[in-house]
Amino acid sequence: MGTASRTVLVEGFQGYEAAFDTTVSRLAALEGLAPAEGDELAEAAAAWGRQPGDVPSRLELPLRPHQPAGEAVRLILRALLEAILANREGVVEDLDTEFLHDLRVAVRRTRSALRQLGGVLPSDEVAHLEDEFRWLASVTGTCRDLDVFRLAVESYLRTGSGLAAALGPFLAHLAQHRAAAHRELVRALAGRRFSRLVQRLEALLASPPAGGGEPIGAVAGRAIQRAHARLLRAGQRVGHGPDAALLHRVRIEGKRLRYLLEFFASLYPPGRIGPLVARLKALQDALGGFHDAVVHTRRLLAMAEEMGTAGLGSPATFLAMGRLASWLEAQGEAHRQQFEEVFQAFSSAPSRRLRVLLQQEEGPS
């Protein structure tokens, strides 16, 4: 943790210039205060030993098509491990929910890399790391789900429902669940299992890649083709009904393809991968909205049962929770309908462009 820092921000108003100058002069004369230099975000980050943008949310890896695959995959995993470790303190200190979000994205990308590219690494190490990162995804999941649930409830309250007071007991109950989940998360990130996971991955990354082997360009091309085919097959299985399991499978396959495209964007001509990733992001947004609505509705009903058993909340609270459940279901249906449009758009022109791009050569050029 960095050194504690306090900032006094003084803003002037038109017509009070003299009073503003006097106030600033008097504050500057106080012991321990000095005029700030630079922007406030940079100063706040510096207090934590950081700087804005030092942990980019997007992977930008300068890979080369003929680079040995084992070396390139190690570079990908190294960048992801750095993102996990860089966000861990913010998660533990509970500074902002985005720290947990970014940590979980790095964990998901790591699992995807191990699953889809692990063939160029020692198989026994990959199997062990897959198990451990599955555990890490699980222990970080509940707290993040509750963060997203709270954001969904806040969105509902902004619709002008007028139910903020009635939902007060439910929000308090939700906050208790979230606090308990965060305590469990902190214990996991401070525990031996997490430390051993990091040490095991660092040892793998430090080990020299095996000599020979395929170039990453060929490995990347095949992996992307396979992921693309799996996504299309999964999407074509979805009918017009709200089959949560099938839609979740499409969501997972979409993420796996997107992560591969992000890993290997530098292997392809500039501007070719970005539009495809944007289409996949739209697909994920629709599927994520549907998935969240399903999960939130189930959690809301479970919490209503808990509160009823414990005698928490008034009839007005439970009526408000029912209206919230109806709103969540409507949101989920809207996202499901959006998926049909987005998938149709992705499976036509963008998919053809991806196939052409991958067929131009035996791998990236």
pLDDT per residue as tens digits for the range 241-267: 668 899 999 999 999 999 999 999 999
pLDDT of residue 44: 52
pTM: 0.83
pLDDT of residue 361: 45
pLDDT of residue 8: 74
pLDDT of residue 5: 56
In the 3-class helix/strand/coil scheme, how is the chain assigned residue by residue? Answer: CCCCCCCCCCCCCCCCHHHHHHHHHHHHHCCCCCCCCCCHHHHHHHCCCCCCCCCCCCCCCCCCCCCEHHHHHHHHHHHHHHHHHHHHHHHHHCCCHHHHHHHHHHHHHHHHHHHHHHHHCCHHHHHHHHHHHHHHHHHHHHHHHHHHHHHHHHHHHCCCCCCCCCCHHHHHHHHHHHHHHHHHHHHHHHCHHHHHHHHHHHHHHHCCCCCCCCEHHHHHHHHHHHHHHHHHHHHHHCCCCCCHHHHHHHHHHHHHHHHHHHHCHHHCCCCCCHHHHHHHHHHHHHHHHHHHHHHHHHHHHHHHHHHHHHCCCCHHHHHHHHHHHHHHHHHHHHHHHHHHHHHHHHCCHHHHHHHHHHHCCCCCC
pLDDT of residue 190: 97
Residue ranges of the chain that CATH labels 1.40.20.10: 70-147+168-210, 214-365
CATH of the domain spanning 70-147+168-210 = 1.40.20.10
CATH of the domain spanning 214-365 = 1.40.20.10
Spans of the chain below 50 pLDDT: 1, 41, 361-365
Query: How many Å apart are CA 344 and CA 351, to the nearest integer?
Result: 10
pLDDT of residue 127: 96
pLDDT of residue 271: 85
